[in-house]
Amino acid sequence: MNDTQKIRNFCIIAHIDHGKSTLADRMLELTGTVEKRKMREQVLDSMELERERGITIKMQPVRMKWGDYILNLIDTPGHIDFAYEVSRALRAVEGAVLLVDATQGVQAQTLSTLEAAKEAGLVIIPAVNKIDSPLAKVGEVKGEVAALLSCREDEILECSGRTGQGVREILDEVVKRVPPPRAETSGAFRALVFDFSYSEHRGVIVYVRVTDGEVGRQDELLFLAAGRSFKPADIGIFTPEERTAESLGAGEIGFLVTGIKEPAVASVGETVVLKRRPLPALPGYREPEPLVWASVYPEDQSELNLLRQSLLELRLSDSSFTFEEESLGILGRGFRLGFLGMLHLEIVTERLHREFSLKLVVTTPSISYEVFGRRGERRMVYSPALFPDYSEIEKVREPWVRVTVIAIPEHLGPVLRLLRDHEAAVGETETLRDRTKIEAEMPLRELMRGFFDRLKSATEGYGSMTYRLIGMRPAEVVKLELLAAGEAVPALSRVVSRRRVEEEAKRAVEKLYSILPRQQFRTKIQARALGRIISSRTLSALRKDVTGYLYGGDVTRKKKLLEKQKKGKKKLLERGSVHIPGDAFIEMMKEF
């Protein structure tokens, strides 16, 4: 067991692309944690998707030696969808390095992560990164950070994650400024679970921050909330690979291999204690609230059980999405999934495809609505397919968010127009040196309607945003259904703003018309809302040349064949159903 006075637990928090992972690489290199010959970019980003996209998706702990001190670093995601991952990391550490890009300055996510770190009572060490860039505005950015933290500019460190300049000073300041963990070294063992991974051979592996006592392999442990006991098959630390240790003591961060192969036995925020001397539970975490919902169906219904098992396994490494089984007309049986945002949805579905080789149909994303019927009944509706007809509804409430946008003054006009177009109520604006911070409130459904991409376009890539839920408010929305050959396609239903229903209907019909393969009969593609058809297109039938084999002869023979074909098409039109391939569903989702 280590002396807790020589332990420092900290994380790096920043806006996306401000250089967290690169700075972590230099720290690992400088401390000798990873040999130079084994160094690569994004060492702590072990997932293939992370390396491809250049972003951190899952938090990753690592233990480093710096002189006589043990430094436990948790590299955290920067994208707003993974703010839940950051909130978990903050509960396992005492300090945070707040990293700000010298070429971009304070961004929206900088503000939200800083607020979360302050709420957790962490010591903040501010640092300006990328000072070697020719575009760096070090003086200006340090001024912004000083104003943000109410500190002196000479307290703000300067560094370059690319060259390693200033990294030594950051590590020294972590030792100096971050307090040792508050831990009870005598008495029974207790630890907080802040993350999971899963191995087919070893079962659930819990990542823990030990708060009290010490644990060894002979100890029988207990998950307090779940009531499940286990003896650790292995105990260890992250270097960043898993490395076996004899024990874990108070203040340390490491892992416990439980051997439990059943999903949902443990959860993030769970307390692990000695079975024979259980201490009270530690304060846990706020449960993540899904903001975006989508249904996922296997293309082949025989893979339903594989999809169920894959979701259970995936949830062991990402406890921030939820799922439940459902059945939806022509798609058969599948699962309704809840996500933290659109990127989170994209990442989870991509992981299902890559890691479990599943071919999936993913429905159009939606949010949850609180619907009040005309007879006074109230229910939460998570799927547009289950949204009642407008004639059955007394009123609807929907989630709203408070959005913070940061942009340069020249882009203020386009940003305000964009906010108005997305039904936002603009509040205070504040000048941050050479940029403007805009506060606004808007429906979550409007945020999902491509707001982030349009913001980037309106600000030429320089604008940034963050948001948080602020509660439910009245909504003027209706259900928009798409029909193919007169039959509603539930998976393509969506809930849209009443004032934009005609525009959305035309767009949806044109989109489906352009991607739907032609059938053996004429196919009407229609959009229905407010009890009527709002938009319609007709897709012509595939036509086979039934007279091609005839050579010469009486023209009446050709006419008979063509008439027979015409009657066949008419019968198909009466009895036939339209097959919409999985690719078409995916294309529709991309657009909407």
Residues shown for the chain: 592
* 32 — pLDDT class (breaks 50, 70, 90): confident
Could you tell me which of 217, 195, 190 has the C-alpha nearest to residue 62?
Answer: 195
The DSSP symbol for 279 reads: P
Give the gyration radius of the chain's Cα atoms: 28
Residue 9 has pLDDT above 70, yes or no: yes
Return the higher-pLDDT residue of 416 and 581.
416
C-alpha dihedral sign at 42, 44, 50, 56: negative
**Which percentage of the chain shows pLDDT scores above 90?**
32
Calpha distance 521→572 (Å, rounded): 6
Catalogue the long-range contacts made by 22-27 (C-beta closer than 8 Å, 24 or more residues apart): 22/161, 22/162, 23/97, 23/99, 23/129, 23/159, 23/161, 23/167, 23/170, 24/62, 24/73, 24/75, 25/161, 26/161, 26/164, 26/167, 27/64, 27/73, 27/167, 27/170, 27/171
Calpha distance 168→27 (Å, rounded): 8
Calpha distance 500→238 (Å, rounded): 52
C-alpha dihedral sign at 424, 428, 429, 430: negative
- Tell me the pLDDT tens digit for each residue of 402-413: 999 988 889 999
pLDDT for residue 138: 93
pLDDT for residue 265: 76
* 254 — pLDDT class (breaks 50, 70, 90): very high
Calpha distance 584→367 (Å, rounded): 22
Calpha distance 10→125 (Å, rounded): 10
Task: Please identify which residue in the block is written with the tokens 């063509």.
Answer: 562
Residue 308 has pLDDT above 80, yes or no: yes
| Cβ atoms of 163 and 129 closer than 8 Å | no
| Residue ranges of domains in the chain, CATH in brackets | 4-177 (3.40.50.300), 190-274 (2.40.30.10), 292-362 (3.30.70.870), 382-475 (3.30.70.240), 481-591 (3.30.70.2570)
Mean pLDDT of 99-123: 86
Residue 316 has pLDDT above 80, yes or no: no
- Tell me the pLDDT tens digit for each residue of 453-492: 898 889 887 788 888 889 999 999 999 998 888 888 887 8
Could you tell me which of 328, 313, 194 has the C-alpha nearest to residue 253?
Answer: 194
Mean pLDDT of 151-155: 92
C-alpha dihedral sign at 347, 27, 13, 99: negative
Q: Which of 236-245, 283-292, 322-331 has the lowest mean pLDDT?
A: 283-292
Return the higher-pLDDT residue of 568 and 334.
334
| Cβ atoms of 478 and 494 closer than 8 Å | no
Task: Please identify which residue in the block is written with the tokens 């008439």.
Answer: 563
pLDDT for residue 528: 94
CA 517 to chain centre: 33
Residue 369 has pLDDT above 90, yes or no: yes
Mean pLDDT of 202-226: 89
Strand pairing category for 333-339 and 271-274: unpaired
Residue 573: C-alpha distances to residues 83, 520, 547, 563, 564 (Å): 51, 9, 22, 15, 14
Contacts of 362 (CB under 8 A, 6+ apart): 294, 295, 296, 297, 345, 349, 585, 586, 589
Calpha distance 290→94 (Å, rounded): 28
Return the higher-pLDDT residue of 82 and 333.
333
Report how far apart the first and last C-alpha atoms of the chain are (Å, whole number): 55
Calpha distance 204→230 (Å, rounded): 11
Instruction: Spell out a b/e string for 236-263, using b for 16 or more CB atoms within 10 Å of the CB, else e.
Output: bbbebebeebebbbbbbbbbbbbbbeeb
* 15 — pLDDT class (breaks 50, 70, 90): confident
Q: Residue 571, Cβ neighbours under 10 Å: how many?
A: 10
| Cβ atoms of 30 and 168 closer than 8 Å | yes
Max CA separation in the chain (angstroms): 105
Residue 275: C-alpha distances to residues 214, 260, 335, 390, 546 (Å): 13, 16, 37, 56, 79
Contacts of 72 (CB under 8 A, 6+ apart): 7, 8, 9, 10, 61, 62, 63, 64, 93, 252, 253
The DSSP symbol for 217 reads: T
* 371 — pLDDT class (breaks 50, 70, 90): very high
Calpha distance 544→564 (Å, rounded): 12
The DSSP symbol for 31 reads: T
Task: Please identify which residue in the block is written with the tokens 């939460």.
Answer: 380
Mean pLDDT of 376-399: 89
Q: Residue 322, Cβ neighbours under 10 Å: how many?
A: 17
Could you tell me which of 393, 354, 256 has the C-alpha nearest to residue 57?
Answer: 354
Q: Which of 133-137, 330-334, 439-443 has the lowest mean pLDDT?
A: 330-334
Which amino acid is located at 264 in the chain? Answer: A
pLDDT for residue 198: 78
pLDDT for residue 573: 45
Alpha helices in 357-463 (DSSP H): 412-421, 444-448, 451-458
> pTM to 2 decimals?
0.71
Q: Average model confidence (pLDDT) for the chain? A: 82
Residue 546 has pLDDT above 60, yes or no: no
Residue 528: C-alpha distances to residues 317, 446, 489, 536 (Å): 41, 21, 11, 9
Mean pLDDT of 193-201: 80
